[in-house]
Every structure is written in structure tokens, then in C-alpha cells.
Chains A and B, each alone.
Chain A
Amino acid sequence: MNRELVKKIFLPLVVLVFVLQVWSGIASIVNEFPTPSDTYVAAFGGVTSEGDELTGVLSDPFYENNQDDKGIFWQVLESLKRVFAGFVLAIIVGVPLGLFVGMSKNAQYALNPFIQIFKPVSPLAWLPLLLFIFQDINMTAIATIFITSIWPIIINTALGVKSVSEDYMNVAKVLRFTPMEKVIQIILPVSVPFIFTGMRLSLGIAWLVIVAAEMLTGGIGIGFWIWDAYNNLNYYHIIIGIIVVGLIGYLLDLMMGKIADYFDYTKRGRA
């Protein structure tokens, strides 16, 4: 069998055993900290070490008791909806803005200071302001995602435009391309890999942001679900929540990576 593959599977398992050891160690020191086995029970159902019989969070993710009590699937779905809404908005606004900044020196001079100043602002700093404006949980979460995930898209798109070689532009000039043709036939194809890098970073940020935003806004969503678990002293769910958030973030990144590769001409047609 392929040695690389064996290593890829075996080595993470070694680390997993180590992590579980550390976790058990912490659980034995910190009072009420869930052990790995009890967390497993809380996730997939069974009887805990204290004799409580539990239905697993992950074995019944689709239940809906009432508006405020829904399975983890619905929580995640709600968060994903917000993330995608904010993310798509960020693409719709960010890509044209990035093209503009990349193509026009004046636009770059005009906008760069603002991009640099707003880029490092924590999403949580925007949240109160946006909550005050929208007075609505969904809108606030979406707007927060939009405003924090737009920067990498703008910056990377502009970078992509700048990477267009002078040679290609000379070809466009000789053929008398209109500005629109230049954008569509030359600038966009060159920039697409950069744009997708920006989108990948943005989606990563968006997924980071949503958990924090939902903790503050409340309602439904994986972020609030974790916070709610804390308020109910349900520590198993906090750990399950962390793992679920991590797995979904990883899947989102994999997905964006695949889409990016598909549109990247440098990765197409090569054996």
C-alpha cells in the first residue's frame, strides 16, 4: 500500500490519541469538565459515566420542538445561510470594487487608506453599531459578515488586476479592445485565481465571525447554540459545538479550494 497514504492516516491518529489523553487529564483536574467518553455519549447517544441516558445531539440533528428548540442541523443551517448571504454580498460589492482599485491609480489612492483602516477592525466592534442600525438579528449578522469579509476580496482582486502582464495589455491595445472587453477577456481571466484566493480567505473569516456574532445576537444559529449550552451548564455541547464548527469550516475551505482550482487556468490542462 502507498506509504504516504498510510502516514497520512496513521500520524493524525497518533496525535488524536495524545489529544484525548490531554483532554482526559484536563477533565480529571477541572471540576465538571466533560470527559471524552461522556462527550461522545452526548454526541451520539448512550449512557454517561454518571448513569444518565442521553439522546445524542448528532444522532438526532433534525428535531424541531419549537421555535427556540431545534436540532443542531437547523442551527448550523441558519448560520450557513447568514454566512452565505454576507459572503455573496461581499463578492458582489468586493469584486467590482477590487477591479476598480486595481485598474485605476486614482481609485487606489482614494480608497487604500480606508481599506487599510477598516480591514483590521474586529467584527465584534461593528456588531453594536450594526445592531443599532438594523434592530434585527439576521440583518445584523449578515451585515457584520459582509463588512468583515469584503476586505480580502477587494485586496486580492486588485492584486490580480495588477498582475496582468503588460504584454497581454499590448495585445488588447493592438486589437483595439474596448475597456469592457479588456476587463472580460483579459483582466478577469488573469484575476480569477486571485479573486478566489480572496474569496477563500473571506469565507474563512465569515465562518469565524458568525459564531461570535450569534453569541451576541442570540436566536437560532450554531454560535448561540454554543453560548446557550454554556448558560445551561451543558458543557458537552460546547465541545461538540467546537468540533462541529471546525469540521464545517474545514469543509467550506475544501469546497472553495476545489472551486478555485476549477477556475484557475494555471491548474487546468496540465498533466
Chain B
Amino acid sequence: MSKFLSLEGIEKRFPIPGKEDYVAVTDVNLEIKENEIISIIGHSGCGKSTLLNMISGLDAQTSGAIILENRHIQGPGPERAVVFQNHSLLPWLSVYQNIEMAVKKVMPQLGAHELRQRVEQYVSMVNLDHAKDKLPGEISGGMKQRVGIARALSITPKVLLMDEPFGALDSLTRANLQEHLMRIQQKVQNTVVIITHDIDEAVLLSDRVIMMTNGPQATIGEILEVNLPRPRNRVELQQNPEYIRCREAILSFLYEKFAKDDE
């Protein structure tokens, strides 16, 4: 398969006045295949969010190149949609309007009827038909995040970037959203990059798990292939030897090889 999204020699430095630059991440080389789902996992401060921000273009790398379908990424764009950790819905727009705003901007050629159809299709995809006229302030955190996902997918991005998408949610809601995401992913077949600090989430959702070493100068430590068939069932997986192997590999990486004390 040809290269879809590749990160080549990525480094990110933050200048500190009067001191040497802080090197957040360095020497990151990664190739992501089309329709692949990868997770980037690591302790806090390993630069995984920085990495995602560079792919989204919201942050620029200091050196190295990020190439999507043979084109250098410069700045943000709708072909790399982002699901933000804090959902980032516009609180004065309803669920419907939040998605509509994105579709309208990215697909200005759509007529009124097609526009409505498309928005409603994505509202339905995350099972929010009953809440489509509610404001973000009136729905739960999990529902907001589902709107965030619908908004990101509604503009048919080439890559879906998720920055700890379920990090702020309780574990039951999180499981529910993971199910939503897997179900949707089966349908739309998208390339997805998920930043997470949850080992089970990483194994459950991804084809590959990218493990980051600790910062400063964080880089890719190990890459783990998750050879589990889809659709995946979280309950059945608990007994699956491959699932257990993957979990243990990540556990050992995070807590033995690159253990980190909380200050």
C-alpha cells in the first residue's frame, strides 16, 4: 500500500527565554496506512498531544515533514478533522446547527435539501435525533462528545484526529462512546489517529498502538500491532490471548521500561 500519511523526522522545540529550547518531541518517524486506526499512548508530558496538533496543523513542527497523500501539511484544514477533548461545540448553536455550520463551510455546493439530509444523517449516526434541537448546555458530556464526532465526520475528512476524546468522561460513558466509534468506523472506514492514556481503549480501538517514551525529547518507543478481528467485543476480548498479550505489552512498556513517577 502506498504511503497515506507519513511523519518524517518530526521535532518540536519550544523556546524558553534565556535558556535552551525545550525539546518536546524529537525524531518521530511514522507511516500511517489508509483506513488504519492508530492510537498514540504515553504518560502525560510525552508530547502526544503536541504530535496530534502538528498533524492537525494547529501547531507547526520545528523540523521534519508531515505528508498526507503526497502533500506537505501546512496549517489546519477540514481534511484533517479534529475531535477535541473538551468537545468544543459552540454553545449558542444547537446540536443540529453545530454540525450544519461545519458542513455548510466545507461543502458550500450543497443545496438546502442535501445539506439538511447530510446533517440529519450524521445526527442519526451518533443516535442523537431526539436531541438535535438542544443546545450543548442541555445535553450530557457523552452526548456532546458524540456531537463532536458527528461534526468531525460530517465533513468526510481523510483523517480523523481525536485528542483524548473520551478522557473527560466517566468510564461507563466512555465505554459507550467507544462502542459508538467502533460501530461508526465499521461503516465509514476512515483513517483515525487517537491520542489516549487508556490502555484498554488503545487495544480495543486500534490496529496499531504507538507507544511514546517520556519527555523531554520524547519519541516513539515501540509500535504494537493489534491482530484482533473486527467487530470487536469488549467482553469477549477479556479472555482473548492476543488481547491479553497486547495489554501486557503496553503495561510493561509504560510501567516497567518507561515508568514515570508523579512528582
Task: Indicate if the CB atoms of A175 and B78 lie closer than 8 Å.
Answer: yes
What residue in chain B is nearest A178 (Cβ atoms)? B105
Q: Does A125 contact B (CB under 8 A)?
A: no
Task: Indicate if the CB atoms of A174 and B76 lie closer than 8 Å.
Answer: yes
Distance, CA A265 to CA B135, complexed state (A): 10
Task: Indicate if the CB atoms of B88 and A168 lie closer than 8 Å.
Answer: yes
Q: Does B106 contact A (CB under 8 A)?
A: yes
Q: Does A176 contact B (CB under 8 A)?
A: yes
Residues of B near A171 (CB, < 8 A) are: 84, 88, 90
Report the minimal beta-carbon distance from B114 to chain A, rounded to whole angstroms: 19
Q: Which of A231-271 contact B (CB under 8 A)?
A: 265-266, 268-270
Report the minimal beta-carbon distance from A14 to chain B, rounded to whole angstroms: 40
Instruction: Answer whether A170 and B84 are a contact pair too, CB < 8 Å, given A176-B77, A269-B137.
Output: yes
Residues of A near B209 (CB, < 8 A) are: none
Residues of B near A170 (CB, < 8 A) are: 58, 76, 82, 84, 88
Distance, CA A220 to CA B144, complexed state (A): 58
Q: Give the contacting residue for A189; candidates B80, B88, B92, B155; CB below 8 A.
A: B92
Report the minimal beta-carbon distance from B51 to chain A, rounded to whole angstroms: 16
Task: Indicate if the CB atoms of A173 and B58 lie closer than 8 Å.
Answer: yes
Report the minimal beta-carbon distance from A249 to chain B, rounded to whole angstroms: 31
What residue in chain A is nearest B98 (Cβ atoms)? A171
Task: Indicate if the CB atoms of B90 and A168 lie closer than 8 Å.
Answer: yes
Task: Indicate if the CB atoms of A174 and B90 lie closer than 8 Å.
Answer: no
Report how many residues on chain A are interfacial, defined by Cβ distance under 8 Å. 20
Report how many residues on chain B are interfacial, defined by Cβ distance under 8 Å. 25
Q: Does A62 contact B (CB under 8 A)?
A: no
Task: Indicate if the CB atoms of B81 and A174 lie closer than 8 Å.
Answer: yes
0/1 interface trace, chain A 47-88, chain B, CB 8 Å (1 if under): 000000000000000000000000000000000000000000
Task: Indicate if the CB atoms of A175 and B106 lie closer than 8 Å.
Answer: yes
Q: Does B86 contact A (CB under 8 A)?
A: yes
Distance, CA A154 to CA B86, complexed state (A): 31
Q: Does A115 contact B (CB under 8 A)?
A: no
Q: Does B206 contact A (CB under 8 A)?
A: no
Q: Does B244 contact A (CB under 8 A)?
A: no
Distance, CA A170 to CA B155, complexed state (A): 16
Residues of B near A174 (CB, < 8 A) are: 56, 58, 76-78, 80-82
Q: Does B21 contact A (CB under 8 A)?
A: no
0/1 interface trace, chain B 10-31, chain A, CB 8 Å (1 if under): 0000000000000000000000
Residues of B near A176 (CB, < 8 A) are: 76-78, 105
Q: Does B110 contact A (CB under 8 A)?
A: no
Distance, CA A43 to CA B92, complexed state (A): 48
Residues of A near B88 (CB, < 8 A) are: 165, 167-168, 170-171
Report the minimal beta-carbon distance from B160 to chain A, rounded to whole angstroms: 11
Distance, CA A186 to CA B105, complexed state (A): 13
Q: Does B138 contact A (CB under 8 A)?
A: yes
Residues of A near B67 (CB, < 8 A) are: none
Q: Does A136 contact B (CB under 8 A)?
A: no
Distance, CA A177 to CA B104, complexed state (A): 11
Report the minimal beta-carbon distance from B198 to chain A, rounded to whole angstroms: 22
Residues of B near A189 (CB, < 8 A) are: 90, 92
Distance, CA A190 to CA B138, complexed state (A): 18
Task: Indicate if the CB atoms of A167 and B84 lie closer than 8 Å.
Answer: yes
Q: Which of A147-185 contact B (CB under 8 A)?
A: 165, 167-168, 170-171, 173-177, 181, 185
What residue in chain B is nearest A165 (Cβ atoms)? B88
What residue in chain A is nearest B84 (Cβ atoms)? A167
Task: Indicate if the CB atoms of A185 and B91 lie closer than 8 Å.
Answer: no
Task: Indicate if the CB atoms of B138 and A269 lie closer than 8 Å.
Answer: yes
Q: Does B101 contact A (CB under 8 A)?
A: yes
Q: Which of B86-139 contact A (CB under 8 A)?
A: 86, 88, 90-92, 101-102, 105-106, 134-135, 137-138
Residues of A near B102 (CB, < 8 A) are: 175
Residues of A near B92 (CB, < 8 A) are: 189-190, 265, 268
Task: Indicate if the CB atoms of B137 and A173 lie closer than 8 Å.
Answer: no
Q: Give the contacting residue for A268; candidates B101, B106, B135; CB below 8 A.
A: B135
Distance, CA A181 to CA B90, complexed state (A): 14
Report the minimal beta-carbon distance from B119 to chain A, rounded to whole angstroms: 15
What residue in chain B is nearest A186 (Cβ atoms)? B90
Q: Which 5 A-B residue pairings sit nearest by Cβ, starting from the closest?
A: A265-B92, A167-B88, A173-B76, A269-B135, A189-B92
A-B contacts, 30 of them at CB < 8 A, read A165-B88, A167-B86, A168-B88, A170-B58, A171-B90, A173-B57, A173-B75, A173-B76, A174-B56, A174-B58, A174-B76, A174-B77, A175-B78, A175-B102, A175-B105, A175-B106, A175-B155, A176-B77, A176-B78, A181-B105, A185-B101, A189-B90, A190-B92, A265-B91, A266-B137, A268-B92, A269-B134, A269-B137, A269-B138, A270-B137
Interface residues, chain B, with chain A CB atoms under 8 Å away: 56-58, 75-78, 80-82, 84, 86, 88, 90-92, 101-102, 105-106, 134-135, 137-138, 155
Interface residues, chain A, with chain B CB atoms under 8 Å away: 165, 167-168, 170-171, 173-177, 181, 185-186, 189-190, 265-266, 268-270
